Structure 1
Amino acid sequence: MTPRRNTKFEALLAEAGWSRAQAASAFVRVAHENGLAGHCHVTRQHVQHWVSGHVPSGHSPIIVCEALSRRLHRVVTPAEAGFTTPDSPVRGALDWRVDPLTTLTDLGSTDLDSSRRRLLRGGVYSAAALTVPAETWWTEMARHPAAEASPAAKRVGQGDVENVREMTLAFSGMDQRRGGGHGRTALVEYLSTEVSRCLVGRFPSEAVRRDMFSAAAEASYLSGWMAFDNGLHDIAVPYFALGLKMAATAADAPLSGHILRAMAHQALDMRLPQKALELSTASTHGQRYLSATPRERALLGVVHARCLAATGHPQEASAALLRAEDDLGNAHDGVEEPSRTFFFGAASLSHETACALRDLNDPKGAISQFERSVRKRGPAFRRTHAVTLGYLGAAQVSTGSVEEACATWGKALDAMEEGIYSGRARQRVEEMRSLLSPYRRRGIPAAVELEARAAGYLRAVD
């Protein structure tokens, strides 16, 4: 039987202004970015077959829709393109109707089983997966009655909640020092065993139950953040979604805002500024911002400012930056702050402000803020310090200060070579090599030396 021409897909290609060959090139870029070597062979003939009505295999529908989403600056779903998508454990995590306990069981067991982990790694970071649930969903989750615990279930008290929080903070400290590529599997193991048993335990009160779900939500958020930091973008998304489900169950609005903020940060890194703005706007909506502490509000606000800058809203971005600065200024010793994994201080504010100024085409302002962040950053935040130095070097090169950039990148490599395993750090090294390429070809000694160090670092962490 002759397949029916896929006119939906054909219309999207026309809207994108892509030839078959250009669509194939964009597809391969997304596949390569997500480590899907088996999908990197796609050519214009494959695209023509899909237009003719042949069904793309494997995860090709998701990849091609992601490429179109980036081109069209809006979410393109497989259904809109006339495709179907493969089954995956990730789908349950991203379905807001699926119970969080079911999600945790499916996601954790798949992530920890090396023979099944490919079901997670076989996916692709997709804008279509990041649709923010309707406001009615948040209310319904908070009102959802607790499941009746088994008489044999563990009795869970406030001490157990504190144990989970302390363990999550320990993993967070490791992430800050060593990067997301060190220790994430151990965190997933803890989340899937000890924390999971607590979530189905017997609670002395509804308040303790909500506190436990909040603590579990932060552990899930951290697992997603560590995956994001290490470049495992497809794995990060379902853990962020799981964290949102549990934070909503706990009625923890500020934590929900912070998870949405992290998802916005990831979308920015994946060059989806409109999706990032949607997520950051949701992160600052209502009680997510209003019931947060000043330090928390500052973090939500400065990432929102970055999203506004990236989408071409300079005045709104500047106003948001000033609000974030004011919020952080209101965080003082007399204001009680929760022990969160996402500590935010002056160094972080300067780093995010610098990124916003860079996107607003103010390189000198960005350099000043990056330098301030480097001065303010403490030794406990080694990974972020290295990333900031990487950004600073790139900003210095953009203004023609090559010697300064080489010195800055040398310091970045000093930090990275002390055992940092981070995809974001690797990206800065790869960017450095690309920006220094013209100077290396001229035989400039500092550029040649940095190239050798960079290549050695990348070999060591691959």
Structure 2
Amino acid sequence: MTAHTPNPRLRALLDEASWTGQRLAEAVNAVGRERGMALTYGRATVSRWLAGTRPPPQISTLAAEALARRIGRPVTTAETGLIGLTSPAEMALVRGDRRGVLELTELCSADTDPTRWPTLRHTVYHVAQLSMPEWGKETPVMQPAHAPRPTTGLGPPQAEMVEAMTTAFCTADIAFGGGHTRTAVVAYLAGDVTLWLRTHRAVVHDRLLSAVALLVCLAGSMCSDEYLHGLAQRYQLVSLGLAHECGNGEVGAIVLCTMSEHAYGLGHLREAHMLAELAVREQGRVAHMTAAFLHGQLAVTTAASGDRRGALAHLRQAERHLARTDTSSCGPGTYHPAELARHHAEVLTATGDLNGAIESLKESVLHCPPSERRARALTTARLAELQIQVGLVEAASSTAQGFCRDYPYLHSARVTAALELLRARLAPYRRTAGAREMLDQLEVLTRRGAS
């Protein structure tokens, strides 16, 4: 198709979606916002696409995802008639082909290659990949995909090393944000870890695969913290595949629950609830901390679906499991009283009890471990936002002082977005002394971050 040849493929997809050009443009803008792209496409742009003009490759990928979400099935860039990625390796990265160790190797290789990074960073978050048929009730997710592995060879020492590195990376992540640690995690995965897995494929212990799966899950969370949502999804799917390969139901449940949190944060509530339900259903015998994490997230998605009674029941389950947790850790699936209080606040917010949510958020900030600077900053910002919403502007201005103390230490797109939202919420109250002073502080932090 030349630049002057009409695009019947895109026209057919618009008809299937029952969309006008303006609706497609708005949907592309919305998907772009998930990637941190400020797009302002309108009907005229789509008219040019229909006439044969082709957008940049990353925009055609956004258009395909927008149409897929509307139609309810995967849509490739080729189907849109717009320019897409042509390299098989790059197409695999965008589609998220799940091939366990091979996919991890390819993904980390691309993530550490400056020439491939421009393609990878524009990977789009695909909602269709959250509801794949093999995740249904008829096919349990966590069935071992192999015969029992040998009890000798590569395994326990390397697994313990990966577990220790995961703890170290997680400790840095929660204190300083994903922007400070993500590249180091990927470099470690691309180097030692994938070398072990490729070189000793036949003698890799399940414990090592489980440890790697959790580290890959952490890498995904760091990506989402930097608003690299499509890339985060790629790591999450690889992590889930590794958990499936070694048959570790607890790790698989943690990954599914992490994916649920990610989907929920992006506003994909139905998919988030499906993932949270699946995580609880597939968990098997798990540690009490893990069970608390799973039920806490399921409480949030259940409340978002309108089931207040069910949400409160899951919160009680989370509380019971947490009371029986006698260990602390740092990594995917970590759960403690501050997290429980935050989940309680989200449930109360979803059910309309903003004053109750404010009290729960205060409790969450109070119990937040000193090392978890990012969580404390995000929770504090959310508390201030709700206080503004119910008219407690002076209280919100005072609350935001805690956010300002933590902000300079953090390299996190989520925290930066929280700062921008606080400024927007406080702006109408600039004539109030406390709000004016806080807005000035937030402006200083914004300028420092931009320098």
TM range (shorter): 0.7 to 0.9
Q: Distance in 2 between matches of 1:318 and 1:69?
A: 34
What residue identity is the alignment partner of 1:311? Answer: S
Are residues 1:424 and 2:414 paired? yes
What residue identity is the alignment partner of 1:379? Answer: P
Q: How far apart are 1:433 and its partner, in Å? A: 1.0
Q: How far apart are 1:131 and its partner, in Å? A: 3.1
TM-score by length of 1: 0.86
Q: Distance in 1 between matches of 2:308 and 2:68?
A: 24
Change (3 A) 1:461 1:384: same
What residue identity is the alignment partner of 2:164? Answer: E
- Equivalent residues in 2 for 1:322-337, closer than 5 Å: 322-331=316-325, 333=326
Contact 1:389 1:408 in 2 (8 A): yes
Alignment root-mean-square deviation, CA:
3.0
Q: How far apart are 1:138 and its partner, in Å? A: 6.0
Are residues 1:354 and 2:345 paired? yes
Alignment partner, residue 285 of structure 2? 291
Match among 8, 23, 48 for residue 4 of structure 1: 8
Are residues 1:236 and 2:226 paired? no
Match among 264, 267, 281 for residue 268 of structure 1: 264
> What's the CA shift string for 1:26-79, capped at 9, x where partnerless?
422332441346xx3532122235567877652334423544677x6x845326
Change (3 A) 1:59 1:303: same
How many corresponding residue pairs? 439
Match among 359, 380, 387 for residue 378 of structure 2: 387
Q: How far apart are 1:193 and its partner, in Å? A: 0.8
Change (3 A) 1:202 1:120: closer
TM-score by length of 2: 0.88
Alignment partner, residue 144 of structure 2? 142
Match among 294, 297, 305 for residue 299 of structure 2: 305
Q: Secondary structure at the match of 1:292?
A: coil
Q: Distance in 2 between matches of 1:260 and 1:379?
A: 27
Alignment partner, residue 30 of structure 1? 31
Residue ranges of structure 1 left out of the alignment (5+ in a row): 149-153
Q: Distance in 2 between matches of 1:144 and 1:94?
A: 27
Q: Percent identity?
A: 27
- Equivalent residues in 2 for 1:60-71, closer than 5 Å: 60-67=59-66
Q: Secondary structure at the match of 1:380?
A: coil
Alignment partner, residue 103 of structure 1? 103
Alignment partner, residue 438 of structure 2? 450
Contact 1:198 1:212 in 2 (8 A): no
Change (3 A) 1:344 1:146: same
- Equivalent residues in 2 for 1:40-439, closer than 5 Å: 40=39, 42-50=41-49, 58-67=57-66, 75-78=72-75, 83=80, 86-87=85-86, 92=92, 98-132=98-132, 134-135=134-135, 142-144=144-146, 156-202=154-200, 209-286=205-282, 288=283, 290-331=284-325, 333=326, 340-417=331-408, 419-439=409-429
Contact 2:170 2:330 in 1 (8 A): no
Change (3 A) 1:221 1:139: closer
> What's the CA shift string for 1:158-207, capped at 9, x where partnerless?
1111011101110000001001111110110001111112213448x96x
Change (3 A) 1:221 1:400: same
Change (3 A) 1:349 1:68: farther
Q: How far apart are 1:296 and its partner, in Å? A: 0.6
Contact 2:60 2:77 in 1 (8 A): no
Q: Secondary structure at the match of 1:219?
A: helix
Q: How far apart are 1:213 and its partner, in Å? A: 0.6
> What's the CA shift string for 1:237-294, capped at 9, x where partnerless?
11111111111112111111111111111111111111111211211113x1x31111
What residue identity is the alignment partner of 1:410? Answer: Q
Residue range with higher mean Cα deviation, 336-345 or 245-254 = 336-345
What residue identity is the alignment partner of 2:75? Answer: P
Q: Distance in 2 between matches of 1:339 and 1:201?
A: 29
Change (3 A) 1:191 1:43: same
Contact 1:168 1:341 in 2 (8 A): no
Change (3 A) 1:209 1:457: same
Q: How far apart are 1:307 and its partner, in Å? A: 1.1
Alignment partner, residue 151 of structure 1? none
Q: How far apart are 1:367 and its partner, in Å? A: 0.7
Residue range with higher mean Cα deviation, 211-220 or 44-53 = 44-53
Change (3 A) 1:91 1:324: farther
